[in-house]
């Protein structure tokens, strides 16, 4: 049984394979119409979604399978106090594969430790969002034709933007990729992401979007993540830090790709939508096909078990990340590896 918790669960060769299958699905949809007949996808969305949930639903239906689940924690037994791990034990009995989104970091790892079917992380708090990254990667491949030798600007909320963390993890594996990290001081990339993924990649940090644009091959805009802020006033102050509009693109390369995981709020003006370099709506549409390829791959890995069994209990360590599932989930084993919480990757505190 394979899971997709973190984009690094897949090798670059496996990602190339998924993109090849997704492209074949686009060209030959009838070949895939019934290949998941009799299979059920569980979509457990403890947090709002349009693209991820509906593209997973569309993906399974397009493969001839069926879908069950919930789009709101309040309509599930979570509202009665059920833990994530108990919910997953149950839905494992009702489905063949599960895509889950949860506001707490590490929830998909906790799920995969008790699930009896493959778990797909459809976004865990401000941590990771690997299926968005697959969507980003197929778009980059189709638009730029390569992953190597790219200057990738990532702009906006780099602190809480889970799509950003997974994209950096994925792109850092390719040759000569340079990152330009554009964020206000309050929303710079967390240290754990830099430590994990940027040890060997070239990167610069700046607050200046317009100054960065001329050098970029990819501009990945992101929303300031209102739902992750403890202080509403801080969100109000930062929410319009960056607004990309047509005038700012005058000095951009003609080959630039403008991407955004969506939803957007104000960070891309609508006058950019007609620019031939704006690919964000096509990017979201490609999500359906790459998720079809992903479902096929994960349903076809019998005999393999990549469930995480690493990490040890350590009474001298405590995870103090307020967004980590381990702070709220009853009965969960608190596990650490090399001084870090295995669920959220944050450095643990010695007690
Ligand atoms: N990109 C993304 O995750 O969008 P949704 O929140 O609409 O699923």
Cα(7)–Cα(91) distance, rounded to whole angstroms?
A: 23
| E strand or H helix at 291 | helix 280-299
Q: Is the CB of 101 under 6 A from ligand 1?
A: no
Distance 211 CA to ligand 1 centre (A): 29
Atom of ligand 1 nearest to the CA of 48: 6
Decide: residue 263, CB within 10 A, 0-12 exposed, 13-18 middle, 19+ buried: exposed
Q: Is the CB of 261 under 6 A from ligand 1?
A: yes
pLDDT at 308: 80
Cα(113)–Cα(22) distance, rounded to whole angstroms?
A: 29
Q: Is the CB of 50 under 6 A from ligand 1?
A: yes
Q: How far apart, in Å, are the Cα atoms of 77 and each of 43, 46, 74, 331?
A: 15, 11, 8, 17
Domains parsed from the chain with CATH numbers: 7-129+286-300 (3.40.50.1370), 130-281 (3.40.50.1370), 312-350 (no CATH)
Q: Where are the beta strands (DSSP E) in the chain?
A: 40-45, 66-70, 97-102, 119-124, 151-155, 178-182, 202-206, 218-221, 257-259, 317-318, 336-337, 340-341, 349-350
Atom of ligand 1 nearest to the CA of 287: 1
pTM: 0.96
Q: Whose CA is nearest to atom 4 of ligand 1?
A: 51
Distance 51 CA to ligand 1 centre (A): 5
Q: Is the CB of 49 under 6 A from ligand 1?
A: yes
Atom of ligand 1 nearest to the CA of 262: 1
The shares of helix, strand and coil residues in the chain, as percent rounded to the nearest 5, are: 40, 20, 40
Give helix 130-144 / helix 12-27 axis angle, nearest 10°. 70
> For each of the chain's 351 residues, which pLDDT tens digit applies?
899 999 999 999 999 999 999 999 999 999 999 999 999 999 999 999 999 999 999 999 999 999 999 999 999 999 999 999 999 999 999 999 999 999 999 999 999 999 999 999 999 999 999 999 999 999 999 999 999 999 999 999 999 999 999 999 999 999 999 999 999 999 999 999 999 999 999 999 999 999 999 999 999 999 999 999 989 999 999 999 999 999 999 999 999 999 999 999 999 999 999 999 999 999 999 999 999 999 999 999 777 888 888 899 999 999 999 999 999 999 999 999 999 999 999 999 999
Cα(277)–Cα(136) distance, rounded to whole angstroms?
A: 15
Interval 242-277: pLDDT, tens: 999 999 999 999 999 999 999 999 999 999 999 999
Atom of ligand 1 nearest to the CA of 50: 7
Q: Is the CB of 51 under 6 A from ligand 1?
A: yes
Distance 220 CA to ligand 1 centre (A): 15
Most distant pair of Cα atoms in the chain: their distance: 59
Other CB atoms within 10 Å distance of the CB of residue 342: 22
Residue 174, helix vs strand vs coil: coil
Q: Choose among 136, 90, 127, 134: nearest CA to 108.
A: 127
Q: Is the CB of 222 under 6 A from ligand 1?
A: no
Cα(80)–Cα(27) distance, rounded to whole angstroms?
A: 46
Interval 287-344: pLDDT, tens: 999 999 999 999 997 778 888 888 999 999 999 999 999 999 999 999 999 999 999 9
Cα(205)–Cα(198) distance, rounded to whole angstroms?
A: 12
Q: Is the CB of 262 under 6 A from ligand 1?
A: yes
Distance 122 CA to ligand 1 centre (A): 9
């Amino acid at each position: 049984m394979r899971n997709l918790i973190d984009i690094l669960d897949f090798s670059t060769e496996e990602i190339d394979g998924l993109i090849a299958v997704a492209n074949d699905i686009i060209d030959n949809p009838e070949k895939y119409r019934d290949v998941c007949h009799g299979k059920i996808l569980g979509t457990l969305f403890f947090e709002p979604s349009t693209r991820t949930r509906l593209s997973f639903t569309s993906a399974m239906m397009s493969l001839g399978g069926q879908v069950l689940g919930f789009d709101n924690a309040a309509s599930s037994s979570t509202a009665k106090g059920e833990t994530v791990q108990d919910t997953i034990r149950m839905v494992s009995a009702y489905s063949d594969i599960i895509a889950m989104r949860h506001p707490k970091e590490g929830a998909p790892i906790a799920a995969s430790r008790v699930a009896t079917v493959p778990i797909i992380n459809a976004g865990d708090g401000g941590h990771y969002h690997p299926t968005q990254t697959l969507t980003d990667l197929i778009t980059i491949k189709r638009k730029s034709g390569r992953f190597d030798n790219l200057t990738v600007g990532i702009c906006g909320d780099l602190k809480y933007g889970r799509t950003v963390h997974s994209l950096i993890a994925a792109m850092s594996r390719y040759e000569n990729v340079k990152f330009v990290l554009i964020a206000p001081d309050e929303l710079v990339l967390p240290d754990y992401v830099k430590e994990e993924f940027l040890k060997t990649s070239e990167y610069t940090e700046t607050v200046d979007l317009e100054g960065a644009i001329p050098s970029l091959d990819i501009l990945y805009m992101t929303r300031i993540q209102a739902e992750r802020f403890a202080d509403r006033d801080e969100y109000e102050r930062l929410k319009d830090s960056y607004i990309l509009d047509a005038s700012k693109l005058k000095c951009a390369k003609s080959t630039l790709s403008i991407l955004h995981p969506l939803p957007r709020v104000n960070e891309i003006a609508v006058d950019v939508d007609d620019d031939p370099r704006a690919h964000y709506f096509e990017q979201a549409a490609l999500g359906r096909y790459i998720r079809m390829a992903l479902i096929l791959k994960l349903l076809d890995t019998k005999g393999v078990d990549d469930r995480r069994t690493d990490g040890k209990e350590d009474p001298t360590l405590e995870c103090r990340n307020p967004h980590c599932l381990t702070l709220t989930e009853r009965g969960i084993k608190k596990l650490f590896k090399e001084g870090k919480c295995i669920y959220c990757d944050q450095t643990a505190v010695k007690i």
